[in-house]
């Protein structure tokens, strides 16, 4: 049977068309077209009502409007945020499961747990650094210490007589205070509690002498006159408390500790999807409700690119790893 040249050309064109058609979905996916087509879940590794949860809910409302699909918060609390991080690590890398992670989950847990079940740098696709907050050195309103220098001088003159509280061994507040103790050469005894709220209650009642914790926890008590602030851990002063000097200003140059949140997706999430999420999140950070949520917790919205977040994660893991070793924390 003789082949017809016109028929061969026709069949070839059909095959080429079929091949092109089969590539359309993958090309569209690679470009992020059609995303999102269904609801997006933001995992929070802590209970409802905590600062990170409140921030996630403000973001979810803004993202729902920006992306045109429902975005909801899913609280996966437990094991100091580990369960939530593992949940996202194991999720499909399709952009429909995100983590609003904290400095505790993504920079401290790897230093204090031998097997947290995830690597904060390798197991996630960084999307955007969200909010960066400072820690506050606070004492009861009736405390005789009015400055950080007063506190340090007493601690040096009376080693082991002062104590500080935190929400538990190895959390941000504990390691940050140990960093300050080392910088000041002061002997202050750590009293770990089962949660920061319990430590705060005892601080207000003067059963412990000092704490160093995040704004979402301590600022409401400062505003009510129950606590006073001796220093802030950021590079610059906090605009709500312009009269309070930074720790660095008070004789500890270079001292800077932050508590922060960041948005990540599972590793191998397509770059186009990550970039679309980054743009949407940057838009969300301009919404009044998102700004107000950050300000209430004493944080400042940061933003930036996925590449900047990756570099930040590497640097933070290095810093907190050194802090954990200096504090004598042995991974469990």
- So where are the chain's domains? 40-133+259-326, 134-250
Q: Which CATH superfamily hosts domain 40-133+259-326?
A: Bordetella uptake gene, domain 1 (3.40.190.150)
The reply to whether omega before 36 is within 30° of 0 (cis) is: yes
Residue partners of 294: CB distance under 8 A and separation at least 6: 55, 131, 300, 301
**Domain 134-250 annotated CATH 1.10.10.10:** no
Task: Read off the DSSP letter of residue 3.
Answer: P
Torsions phi, psi for 267 (to 5 deg): -55, 150
Q: Who contacts 153 (Cβ-Cβ below 8 Å, separation ≥6)? A: none
* Residue 32 pLDDT: 52
- Give, in order, the Cα–Cα distances in Å from 32 to each of 61, 154, 273, 277: 22, 59, 5, 10
The tens-digit pLDDT sequence of the chain (332 residues) is 444 544 445 445 544 444 444 443 433 334 456 999 999 999 999 888 888 999 999 999 999 999 999 999 999 998 889 999 999 999 999 999 999 999 989 999 998 898 999 999 999 999 999 999 999 999 999 999 999 999 999 999 999 999 999 988 878 888 899 999 999 999 999 999 988 889 999 999 999 999 999 888 899 999 999 999 999 999 899 988 999 999 999 999 999 998 899 999 999 999 999 999 999 999 999 999 999 999 888 889 999 999 999 999 999 999 888 888 877 777 77
Alpha-carbon separation of residue 166 from 154, 212, 280, 313, 324 (angstroms): 20, 8, 36, 24, 15
Residues 6+ apart with CB under 8 A from 69: 36, 37, 38, 39, 40
**Residues whose CB is less than 8 angstroms from the CB of residue 106 and which lie 6 or more positions away in sequence, other chains included:** 85, 120, 262, 264, 313, 316, 317
Instruction: With 0.85 as the threshold, say if the pTM is over it.
Output: no
195 in Cβ contact with 120 (< 8 Å): no
Task: Confirm whether 40-133+259-326 and 134-250 share one CATH topology.
Answer: yes
Q: Please report which residue ranges of 158-258 form alpha helices under DSSP H.
A: 172-184, 196-204, 215-223
List phi, psi (to 5°) of 309.
-65, -40
Distance of alpha carbon 205 from alpha carbon 5, whole angstroms: 94
CB neighbours (10 Å) of residue 259? Answer: 29
Residue 213, number of CB atoms within 10 A of its CB: 27
């Amino acid at each position: 049977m003789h082949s017809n040249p016109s028929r061969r050309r026709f069949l070839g064109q059909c095959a080429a068309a079929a091949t092109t058609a089969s590539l359309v979905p993958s090309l569209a996916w690679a470009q992020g077209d059609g995303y999102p087509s269904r609801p997006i879940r933001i995992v929070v590794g802590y209970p409802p009502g905590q600062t990170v949860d409140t921030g996630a809910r403000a973001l979810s409302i803004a993202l729902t409007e920006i992306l045109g699909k429902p975005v909801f918060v899913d609280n996966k609390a437990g094991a100091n945020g580990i369960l939530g991080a593992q949940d996202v690590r194991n999720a499909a890398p399709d952009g429909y499961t995100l983590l609003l992670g904290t400095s505790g989950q993504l920079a401290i847990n790897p230093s204090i747990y031998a097997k947290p079940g995830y690597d904060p740098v390798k197991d996630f696709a960084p999307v955007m650094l969200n909010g960066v907050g400072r820690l506050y050195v606070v004492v009861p309103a009736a405390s005789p210490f009015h400055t950080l220098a007063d506190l340090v001088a007493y601690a040096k003159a009376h080693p082991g007589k002062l104590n500080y509280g935190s929400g538990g061994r190895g959390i941000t507040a504990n390691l940050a205070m140990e960093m300050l103790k080392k910088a000041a050469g002061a002997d202050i005894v750590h009293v770990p509690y089962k949660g920061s709220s319990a430590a705060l209650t005892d601080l207000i009642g003067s059963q412990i002498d000092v704490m160093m914790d995040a704004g979402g926890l301590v600022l409401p008590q400062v505003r009510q006159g129950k606590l006073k602030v001796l220093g802030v851990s950021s590079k610059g002063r906090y605009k709500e408390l312009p009269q309070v000097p930074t720790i660095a200003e008070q004789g500890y140059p270079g001292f800077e500790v932050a508590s922060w949140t960041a948005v990540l997706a599972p590793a191998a999430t397509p770059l186009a999807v990550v970039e679309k999420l980054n743009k949407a999140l940057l838009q969300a950070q301009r919404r009044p409700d998102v700004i107000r949520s950050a300000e209430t917790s004493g944080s400042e919205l940061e933003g930036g690119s996925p590449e900047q977040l990756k570099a930040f994660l590497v640097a933070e893991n290095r810093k907190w790893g050194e802090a954990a070793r200096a504090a004598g924390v042995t991974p469990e």
